[in-house]
Chain A
Amino acid sequence: GAGVSQSPSNKVTEKGKDVELRCDPISGHTALYWYRQSLGQGLEFLIYFQGNSAPDKSGLPSDRFSAERTGGSVSTLTIQRTQQEDSAVYLCASSPPGGQADTQYFGPGTRLTVL
């Protein structure tokens, strides 16, 4: 009964470098979400995948951010040319078919620090 897992748990990088954050959703969950929480802020929606549909990328803050979901399972969030304002906790969540946010299961997050 594994939950949503994310890796790495912590990532420290230098400004200008690219980073990849990984999310393994719960098996069978068709929906996958990425959020970020900056210091002193609420969770900010980034991107939503649902099955084979085109993802909703409307929350991505800039074109330096991209995400993909391979085979309807694992997802990778990539941040290119990282900036200090990208420092945050990045949270992934998944939900089963037909589920709404009250059935979202969150991972523990990846804490990204950009120096």
Chain B
Amino acid sequence: DQQVKQNSPSLSVQEGRISILNCDYTNSMFDYFLWYKKYPAEGPTFLISISSIKDKNEDGRFTVFLNKSAKHLSLHIVPSQPGDSAVYFCAATGSSGTYKYIFGTGTRLKVLA
């Protein structure tokens, strides 16, 4: 039972345009969400997070949006750069176990120069 779903395994975007990566979750107890970025042969690195008390968090070119009623979050990258090409994972947890994150299967983003 996949509690965190990333339904798009891959996405291609032209350099300079917006990249939108989507993530859906099923557990209404989740209240903290993160995005990680992973390059080949490296471990994932933390990118941005959002608490359920917010519906938006912005950090430079990266913005995460949370729609609690739809149990949906998205990561926007504007403008996209070739160096953003990587696999992006979303992850979620409930406050009862802050270290036990449920990860999605990842979306491979390719930014075309």
Contacts and interface: CB of A to CB of B under 8 A. Distances in A.
A30 to B, nearest CB: 12
Interface string B73-103: 0000000000000000101010000111111
A108 B41 contact: yes
Nearest to B45: A106
B contacts with A: majority SS: loop
Given A42-B4, A45-B101, A48-B100, A101 B34 contact: yes
Given A91-B43, A91-B44, A106-B44, A100 B98 contact: yes
Nearest to A9: B41
Nearest to B91: A101
Contacts of B2: 42
Contact of A40 (B42, B45, B93, B105): B105
A68 B56 CA distance: 39
B45 A101 contact: no
B43 A42 contact: no
B105 A42 contact: yes
A78 B49 CA distance: 32
A93 interface: yes
B41 A43 contact: no
B101 A101 contact: yes
A103 B105 contact: no
The 4 nearest A-B residue pairs measured at CB: A106-B43, A42-B103, A43-B103, A42-B105
Given A4-B43, A105-B45, 16 more contacts: A31-B99, A33-B99, A42-B6, A42-B91, A42-B102, A43-B44, A43-B103, A44-B103, A45-B101, A56-B99, A93-B43, A101-B93, A101-B101, A102-B49, A103-B46, A104-B46
21 contacts: A31-B99, A42-B2, A42-B89, A42-B91, A42-B103, A42-B104, A42-B105, A42-B106, A43-B101, A45-B100, A45-B101, A48-B100, A91-B44, A102-B46, A102-B49, A105-B43, A106-B42, A106-B43, A106-B45, A108-B41, A108-B43
